[in-house]
Amino acid sequence: MSTIGYDEFEKVDIRVGTIVEAEEFPRARKPLYRLRIDFGSDVGIRQSAAGLPGRYRLDELVGRQVIAVLNLGVRNIAGFESQCLTLGLPDEDGETILLTPTCLVPDGGRLF
């Protein structure tokens, strides 16, 4: 595993936001959902494509706070502009488990 300096890590903009909309994404090659995530008044709403259908139903996602990286640039996925990377870890079956705060925090809060 390679190491990075703390100054490099500080450049990664990792924030909390609340999912305000979640939809199926049938055009994607692999199972994905399209998410709209509210990162508060300073950042606003960003879109993200996330590989969650194996572990989450759409109705479980709206209102859930998630952790995402905001400054990786835009990625076009099957015609959808993914504007942030929603973070998760694989479970024992390889399905994505979302990274979430353990209690409610203000949207837009930055990891430091």
Is 31 inside any structural domain? Answer: yes
Is 34 inside any structural domain? Answer: yes
The predicted pLDDT at position 112 comes to 80
Contacts of 94 (CB under 8 A, 6+ apart): none
- Which residue blocks in the chain are alpha helix, DSSP H? 6-9, 58-61
Is 90 inside any structural domain? Answer: yes
Whichever domain contains 74, its CATH number is: 2.40.50.140
- pTM, entire model: 0.94
The predicted pLDDT at position 66 comes to 98
DSSP conformation letters of 20-47:
EEEEE-TTSSS--EEEEEE--TTT-EEE
Is 105 inside any structural domain? Answer: no
Domain count, the chain: 1
Q: What is the mean pLDDT of the chain?
A: 96
Is 108 inside any structural domain? Answer: no
Tell the residue number behind the tokens 């993200």, with chain if given: 48
Is 86 inside any structural domain? Answer: yes
Is 103 inside any structural domain? Answer: no
The predicted pLDDT at position 48 comes to 98
Is 110 inside any structural domain? Answer: no
- Which residue range(s) make up the domain with 72? 6-98
CA atoms of 110 and 65, how far apart (whole Å): 13
pLDDT tens column, 53-79: 999 999 999 999 999 999 999 999 999
CA atoms of 101 and 110, how far apart (whole Å): 12
